[in-house]
Amino acid sequence: MNESIQKRIKLSKILTLFAILILVCTYTLKPVFQYRDPVAIDEEDEIEINESFQPFEFFIPADTEWFEPQMDYLVPLMGERIYEFYPEGIYAYLIGARTMPVWRVSLEAPQYPRASFPDGIPVFFHMTDFSGKTSEMNTINHYIGMDPMEVGAVFVRKLVPFVYLIFLLMLIGFIFYSGPGWWALGLIPALFPWYYLFFYSKWLYWFGHNLHEFGQFTIKPFMPTVFGDGKVAQFTTHSYPTVGFYFLFVYFLILIFAVLIKRKALKEM
């Protein structure tokens, strides 16, 4: 193996290690990037607590309090129990309760003046839960006959810790393995941001096409805006990627480069 090939393989490994670091950051840096209300009265009002983080039951202590979904039709979507579960410490990081915000949606309307709501009504979608003004957003959703956000992708969000673990193991394998199909160990994890965008779009479609009669007024089924600005009733909507997606996009680019560099090196070997 000549020196040029060795340098390419070494560069591919370094890029992969950097990508792994970025991936771990998206799993753990929620406390750094979590939304804090700029006009909160005190520290308790800065971050709104909600029950959107619902992992598999074997992660939850047996004595954790829980309640049943408000309506029977929500049981197949959310399960029979909604836990009041707020993990702390290292355990919270291990089971996926500290993932970075990936997408940001905000609403503006005349009843939300800038002085009191400088950011509108923002909600941040994480890999495993939601943050921001989730209660206010659910109230608005109810107003047009839409289900609460917690209904969305419950099972997929529960799988996230295992997906991270599998991708991490695949990337470690990508560093050391050069046999048949080696490229899949790098390419499959690299597409992570696009997997997220697929499920995010799918569930937006589901919410917009499963409206209920309990809304204050009737609107036709619609596709909520995935990327950009939109209009729903008197609300102006803004939907854009945020810091977590940018991290994942850089992670994607780095891994693509790592795969291509390793491919060229192995081809020349």
Give the start-to-end residue ranges of the domains of the chain: 22-244
The kind and range of the H/E element at 105 are strand 101-108
Burial of 43 (0-12, 13-18, 19+ CB in 10 A): exposed
What are the start-end ranges of the H helices in the chain?
Answer: 3-28, 30-33, 43-46, 75-78, 89-94, 134-143, 154-176, 182-190, 192-208, 243-268
Distance CA 151, CA 52 (A): 9
Distances (CA, A) of 176 to 169, 170, 172, 257, 262: 11, 10, 7, 17, 11
Mean pLDDT of the region 138-161: 92
The kind and range of the H/E element at 81 are none
Backbone angles phi, psi at 123, to 5 degrees: -135, 135
| Structure letter (DSSP) for residue 240 | E
Distance CA 76, CA 157 (A): 15
pLDDT value at residue 114: 87
- pTM across the whole model: 0.94
Distance CA 16, CA 242 (A): 23
Distance CA 186, CA 30 (A): 25
What's the whole-number average pLDDT of the chain?
93
Burial of 240 (0-12, 13-18, 19+ CB in 10 A): middle
pLDDT value at residue 141: 87
Distances (CA, A) of 212 to 76, 138, 187, 219: 17, 14, 41, 10
Q: What percent of the chain has pLDDT over 90?
A: 76
Backbone angles phi, psi at 180, to 5 degrees: -55, 135
Encode pLDDT of 176-189 as tens digits. 999 999 999 999 99
Encode pLDDT of 94-132 as tens digits. 999 999 999 999 999 888 888 888 999 999 999 999 999
pLDDT value at residue 213: 83
pLDDT value at residue 29: 97
Mean pLDDT of the region 239-265: 97
Encode pLDDT of 211-249 as tens digits. 888 767 778 888 999 999 988 777 899 999 999 999 999
Strand partners, 125: 103, 130
64 pLDDT band, cuts 50/70/90, is very high
